[in-house]
Every structure is written in structure tokens, then in C-alpha cells.
Structure 1
Amino acid sequence: MTQQRLGGAEFAPETTYLNTAASGLLPARTRAALRDELDVATSYGTMGHDYFGPADAARASFARLLHTTPDRVALGGSVAVSTALIAASLPEGAEVLLPEGEFSSVANPFSMRPGLRVRTAPLEGLADAVRPGTALVAFAAVQALDGRIADRAAVRDAARTHGARTLLDVTQGAGWLPLDAREFDYVVCGAYKWLLCPRGTSFLVVGEDAPQPAALHAGWVAGADPMQSNYGPIERLAEDARRYDEPHAVLSYAGAQHSLALLEETGVAAVHAHNTALAERYRAGLAELGHEPLPAPGSAIVTVPGLADAHERLAEAGVVAAVRAGKLRAGFHLYNTPDDVDRLLELLK
């Protein structure tokens, strides 16, 4: 008998879906909201009846999940744009420290910004690599490639000791890993993975004590009164993080408010316990089969060398996983069950 999903009736995938590290599944309530919004768009335009309401609800929900306040949260469409805003705010010659092999949406904006000195270090030694003169340490809470969890406290403390600022990417952790945005200067998040939102949904958190970057891409939504900020230079920007808002995609945020509400109702602690238990079940089964995953203790993402050739066989059986850098990657989320783990292991025999 199929075991109950933590997400309950919100999910009934036709596949055994283990690829949340690439993109998440939409809950039923989110799908219904998107359909409703599409109906509105066919008669009332693509800004809907209420352009700001659903987006502000999503902003508030994300803030609660990350233990911050809505006035610190800006809405966007991609992590790379938010990261580029922070990169542009750094002075000429500033040193930015990154983990080796960091995801491109975090690494590229700093590498592409002329005049910055970008340095890398192994993730495990990132805290030790912070030095006097380091301006910013930018890193992911969870590595997308192999699921390794960064020692966030050690990096944060080392940065504070040397007067460096921090940027934390929570794209692979928000929704299942307990996180507190208040511990870092800047937080970026793509919400279409573990937060179960549609593509085109992302968030930027600007800490209260962090240097406030210039609102370089400020459009009409960044004004203190957006409806009075349509023509010419904006006379008065929003006083809070809304000044960094991008004009948001209505459909994305119409769905996001419902996905984030589901995660709030379920609770990050419950999702964390569920996901990590499934990942441990998978690791134990791999050991019995003679396979050793890459080290990533406590992670919901499990990546295994030597199994890339199983990907096609899994896909034919309706099991959706991923191959990254020649390794098989699986991620376990609230819509997965022990039955999903056992099915995967059976197919890997």
C-alpha cells in the first residue's frame, strides 16, 4: 500500500519524482490558482484584477519562512539578477570569496563585474579562507551539484571577524532546511525548486545593517507610490526593500503565494525531518548495493558516482532523477515516500 505523502492530497504525480534540486512540483492549490489567473487574463489583461496582492502575500510568506520581515524582502525573477545587484554595489578592487564550483547564478555576476577580485576556496575551508581585505563571501547554503551543506555559522563568524559581508544563496535549502535570513547581509533565493513555486519567482533579502545597494534596475514598482512612478525618473523610491523589486510576473506570484502557504502550514521542521529520513533510507540502501554517495551528511540531496548510466533506465520506468557531472542525483521532498526510495533502489539493483 502506498504510504501517505507529507503534502497529502496536494500532490499526485504520475512519476516517481526525485528531481526537486532541478525544479519542484506544483501543489494542487497552486495549479488551481494559475488556472483562475489565466481565465482572468483572457478578459482583463495579464496584470489580473490585483497585480500587487498575491505578490505581497508571497513576500510576507517567504519572510516568515526565513525569519525576517517583509520590508527586507524584494521580489525578482532570477537569482542572477539579484546577485548582480550586489556585485554592482561593491567598490572597485573589492575581493569576493566563493566556494570552488559554486552555482553559476551566484558566481557569474561577480566574475562578470569588471574590477572585482574573485577568489575561490574549497567549501569545507571557506571560513578559513576569509582574510583581512575580503569584502564579501558569497556561497550557497546547500550545493546544487552534490547536496553538501555549508557550515553557515563558521563562514558568518569568520566574515564578521574580518569585516566582510555575506551573501547566502538558499535556493537549494529554503523549504526544507531551517534557515534564518537575519544571520546574513544578503540572501538570494530561486523559489521554483524546494519552495514549489512557478518559474520566474525569486527573492532578495537585504539585511537591516547591510550596505544598501543602489536600486540600479528600479522600475515603476520600485517607487514609493508605484502608480505615480510611470513616467520619467522616479522622484521617491520605496523606503524599504521594495525599491529593489523587479516588475513581477503575475502568473508566477499568483501561484507562489499558495505554494509558500502550503510550506508554512506543513512547517519547515516537519519537511526537514521527512526529507532527511528519506535521504538516509536511500543512503543505507545504496550501501547494501555497494554504492557510495558523495559525502553530504544531513542533506536531502544524494549524488552517487558510477550510476549515470542508470538514468535512462529510470526514466523509462517513470522515475525522474538527474545526472550532474556524470553522477546520479536524487532529491527527496514532501511529496516523496519510502515507497519511492524503495522503488529507486530496486531499479538500481
Structure 2
Amino acid sequence: METFESLVRAEFAPEHTYLNTASNGLLPARTVSAVQEAVRLRAEGRPIGSLYEDVEGVRAAFGRLAGVPAERVAMGASVAEYGGLIAAALPAGAEVLTAEADFSSLVNPFHMRGDLKVRAVPLERLAESVRPETALVAVSVVQSADGRIADLPGVREAARAHGARTYLDASQSAGWLPLEADSYDFLAAVGFKWLMGPHGNAFFVAPEDFGGLTPLLAGWVAGELPWESCYGPVQELAHSVRRFDVSPSLLTYAGLRASLALIEELGIDAVHAHDLALADRFRAGLTRLGHEPVPSPGSAIVSVPRLGRRQSELSEAGIEVSDRAGNLRAAFHLYNTATDVDRLLDVLSS
């Protein structure tokens, strides 16, 4: 029987100490092979029906990870496009509550409307800041800049108490943190970070009644019968949330299907435990070195104030991390090891 370790080592052999999944995930070997085969299909003029099957395979796999039926999952190219759909559905003057300095792809569509009241508060005060006039609470599950995790149960209950909807960006959590998308109104996430897919995909989860959204980006793939919806106005939109699909990047989905299969084989709970153990090892090492990271208990992302300036130096030493908002940001995922953590600590101590 294959173990977590043997499965991972069969898929990854990075040449550098890669601790930058919060920017881009590494591609498993099976994903690289799947993309290469998809490219060959396109290059050789063979039938590509299997690539459209990959799209539906990815939809089903993400639904399982998110805890919702596949019929509630739409797929496009970016989080911002789905934020734009939600923003377009709000009435003029509606209040949108966000966390200060949250990721721009989440918050910017609401600012671009021009006639919404967008209010930003500290992340730790988000739940208590929901009020009767709040129409929507939009927040990243995990903050990109520093790894802090939102109080999602608190936000959910406060929103329900005031009749507000909830919209989560799970781009920095999907793939290591178990999701409960069914507990919220809307959820979006990209596939190229912790889900380890190629660029070009974003997921969107919406209610069965579509939450009042209009499929403004709908093309042929949004039809109930896509191949019969290629010409003229789409006569019948998909009866499911697939009506919010955008024409798929087929090579991306060929690879992403393989990546999601690996996560399911490993088990999200095992990935979660592995990633947190490494992050906690790094936090403990930082304490020994006299550094105090941004408090982010339970997060696979650890950010250290004022050390972002050392990112270039670390990269030259073969250690890939990020400089975000002046913080040195390290992100620990399933392909990382205790040796990776200790090497980063050794270089920081020098």
C-alpha cells in the first residue's frame, strides 16, 4: 500500500527548496504528463473529446473537495470575473463589507461598480462589523499577505443574523484546508496554487437558485446543451450553476484533473496535517531566532514582518519564498519536508 510519503515522492523532485505555493503550486509529474498528452492531441489532429471529459471530471472533483454537488460548481478563468457577477447583481447603494488589505481580485470588482458602499475593517473585526444595512460580506478564507485565517463561523452567523450574503475567496486555502462551501452563499478559488494545476482556471460555487446572479459572461458552454448553443443567442441556459461557465482552457483542465486526483488520493485531512506540522516547525524555529511572525494559528502560510527584503538573497541560495507587504512569506505544502524548513531557518540565522 502506498504511503503519503511514497505518493508525494513519486510526483515531485524540485531542484530548489520551494516554499512559495501561495504564489504558484508545483505541478505533479502526472499533471505534466497529462498536459503533454493533451498538447499532442491538439498537435496531431486527433479527436479531443477526452479533453471535454476532463472539464467535467475537474468539476466533479472540486465539488467533492468543496463538499457540494458538481451541479453547484461553475468554472472560468479568474476570481475577479465571478466577483464581477456578484457585484453586478447588487442594488445601487448596497453595502459590501470586506477585510482591510484583502486580495484585490476579491475586492476590486465591488469598487469598480462605483455606486456600492464598500466598507473595509480589520479582519479580526469582520464578524462584529456586519450590520443591518450590510448586503454582502466578502473575504478571503486565508489572507494572501500574511496567512491569517478568517473567523468564518462568526462571519456566517453574523451575516445570517442581518440577512447578508457571504462570498469567500478560497484561493489560499483550497487544497490544504477542508472546505465547507455549502455553509456560504458564494465561493471562488483559483486552481494554480494549492490545487497544483496549470494557470487558466477558477472555480465558482453558487446556490442552486443561482443567488440572484445573471450569467453576463455566458457563451455557448453555458447552454443546457452546449453543442446546440453555438450560434445565435443561447436558447436554454444550463439548469445548473454551469450556466456561469466560461469557455474552458482545455490544456489546463487536462492537467488539473490529474492534480485533483492526487489530492484525493492523499486525502485533504492528511495534507492539512502535513502542511500545518511544517508551518508550526517554522514558527517554533523563528521564535528561537528571535523573530515574531504575524499571528496566524492553524495556517500553512507564515509571514515574518520586515524580512521580505531577504527574498532575493534566499532565492540566490535556492530557497523560493515571497516578499508580500514587506513580509517574508513562506508557504508549506504537501511536497515540502522538515529539511526544507530547517534549511530556510539556517539561512535566516546567518
Q: Normalising by structure 2, report the TM-score.
A: 0.96
> CA–CA distance in 2 between the matches of 1:241 and 1:192?
22
Identical columns (%) = 54
Paired AA for residue 63 in structure 1: G
**Local SS of the residue matching 1:50:** helix
> CA–CA distance in 1 between the matches of 2:85 and 2:241?
13
CA contact (8 A) 2:208 2:240 kept: no
CA contact (8 A) 2:95 2:118 kept: yes
**Local SS of the residue matching 1:119:** strand
Matched, 1:56 2:56: yes
Shift of 1:9: 1.1
Deviation sequence 1:285-337 (CA, Å, 0-9, x none): 11111111011111100000122232222111111001011111000000000
> CA–CA distance in 2 between the matches of 1:287 and 1:76?
42
Matched, 1:238 2:217: no
> CA–CA distance in 2 between the matches of 1:163 and 1:102?
23
Shift of 1:91: 1.4
**Local SS of the residue matching 2:98:** strand
Shift of 1:43: 2.1
1:44 aligns to what? 45
Matched, 1:296 2:296: yes
1:180 aligns to what? 180
Deviation sequence 1:61-106 (CA, Å, 0-9, x none): 0000011010000011111111111111111211111001110000
Deviation sequence 1:94-134 (CA, Å, 0-9, x none): 11110011100001000001321111111100001000011
Deviation sequence 1:167-223 (CA, Å, 0-9, x none): 011000011111110000000001110011110111000023662311111000001
Paired AA for residue 10 in structure 2: A
CA contact (8 A) 2:279 2:332 kept: yes
CA contact (8 A) 1:218 1:246 kept: yes
CA contact (8 A) 2:38 2:51 kept: no
Shift of 1:5: 7.1
Deviation sequence 1:240-293 (CA, Å, 0-9, x none): 011000001011111111101111111111011100100010011111111110
Q: Normalising by structure 1, report the TM-score.
A: 0.96
Matched, 1:278 2:253: no
> CA–CA distance in 1 between the matches of 2:299 and 2:81?
27
> CA–CA distance in 2 between the matches of 1:180 and 1:170?
11
Aligned residues: 346
Paired AA for residue 24 in structure 1: G
CA contact (8 A) 1:5 1:337 kept: no
2:93 aligns to what? 93
Mapping of residues 1-349 of structure 1, within 5 Å: 4=5, 7-44=8-45, 48-208=48-208, 211-349=211-349
> CA–CA distance in 2 between the matches of 1:124 and 1:210?
30
Q: Unaligned stretches of 5+ in structure 1?
A: none
> CA–CA distance in 1 between the matches of 2:198 and 2:78?
12
> CA–CA distance in 1 between the matches of 2:194 and 2:234?
36
Shift of 1:4: 4.6
CA contact (8 A) 1:146 1:302 kept: yes
**Local SS of the residue matching 2:50:** coil
CA contact (8 A) 1:176 1:275 kept: yes
**Local SS of the residue matching 1:52:** helix
Paired AA for residue 25 in structure 2: G
CA contact (8 A) 2:79 2:202 kept: yes
Shift of 1:6: 6.6
Q: 1:5 to 1:303 in 2, by over 3 A?
A: farther
CA RMSD of aligned residues (A): 1.4
CA contact (8 A) 1:185 1:209 kept: no
Paired AA for residue 181 in structure 2: A
CA contact (8 A) 1:48 1:250 kept: no
Paired AA for residue 218 in structure 2: A
**Local SS of the residue matching 1:328:** strand
CA contact (8 A) 1:62 1:260 kept: yes
